[in-house]
């Protein structure tokens, strides 16, 4: 791992996810009882929506109080002391990771378990995942992995429906 930047991200292999919500539970208890991971609630599937840790994060750009910020390792985080729960980041996030429901908790935000990652461990959600659906890997390697093969089984007419 480069000391300047955390290259890896949390990747979800939808063809392995059994919707057990263990990731949400691990994240909750690892972040002092803050509900950070929530779940897509469609008729077909309930998979976790985990922060993509964008390199140019819209949540940071939209925050009027600099509560959302990106640190030197490119991890976007929230400073609870500065957050006024205005909801700008919720509206700014194009991926639905931050939700209105989180406002009452001053928008808890995935920090990629930065302290653990710097110790050489993986984020809690990845380590707890009992099905192996969550991985901590470099985004560029995804296309070279089996994920692509399994991913082709995700059918087209509904992006969240599997078979």
Binding-site size for another protein (CB under 8 A) equals: 27
128: Cβ contacts below 8 Å, ≥ 6 apart: 22, 23, 25, 26
If binding is defined by CB under 8 A, does position 98 make contact with another protein?
no
Indicate the SS3 state at residue 114.
helix
Q: Is the CB of 7 or the CB of 28 nearer to another protein?
A: 28
Question: Closest approach of Cβ 40 to another protein, in Å?
Answer: 14
Strand positions, DSSP E, the chain = 8-12, 38-39, 48-49, 68-70, 76-78, 134-138
Q: Is the CB of 13 or the CB of 54 nearer to another protein?
A: 13
If binding is defined by CB under 8 A, does position 132 make contact with another protein?
yes
129: Cβ contacts below 8 Å, ≥ 6 apart: 22, 23
Pairing type for strands 76-78 and 38-39 reads unpaired
Q: Identify whether the C-beta of residue 96 lies closer than 8 Å to the C-beta of residue 28.
A: no
Question: Closest approach of Cβ 133 to another protein, in Å?
Answer: 8
If binding is defined by CB under 8 A, does position 130 make contact with another protein?
yes
Question: Closest approach of Cβ 144 to another protein, in Å?
Answer: 15
If binding is defined by CB under 8 A, does position 26 make contact with another protein?
yes
If binding is defined by CB under 8 A, does position 40 make contact with another protein?
no
Of 7, 21, 87, 154, the one binding another protein by CB under 8 A: 21
Q: Phi-psi category of 35—alpha, beta or left, where left has phi over 0 and alpha has psi -120 to 50? A: beta
Residues that bind another protein (CB under 8 A): 16, 18-22, 24-26, 28-30, 32-33, 35, 43-44, 124, 127-132, 146, 162-163
């Amino acid at each position: 791992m480069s000391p300047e930047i955390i290259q890896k991200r949390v990747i979800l292999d939808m063809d392995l996810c059994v919707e057990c919500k263990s990731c949400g539970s691990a994240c909750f208890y690892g972040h002092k009882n803050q509900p950070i991971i929530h779940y897509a609630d469609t008729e077909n599937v309930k998979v976790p929506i985990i922060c993509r840790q964008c390199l140019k994060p819209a949540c940071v750009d939209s925050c009027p109080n600099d509560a959302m910020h990106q640190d030197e390792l490119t991890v976007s985080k929230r400073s609870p002391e500065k957050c006024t729960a205005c909801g700008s980041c919720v509206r700014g996030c194009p991926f639905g990771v931050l939700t209105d429901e989180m406002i009452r908790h001053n928008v808890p935000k995935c920090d990629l378990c930065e302290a653990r990652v710097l110790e050489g461990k993986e984020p809690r959600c990845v380590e707890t995942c009992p099905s192996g659906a969550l991985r901590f890997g470099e985004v560029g390697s995804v296309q070279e992995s089996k994920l692509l093969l399994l991913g082709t089984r995700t059918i087209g007419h509904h992006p969240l429906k599997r078979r």
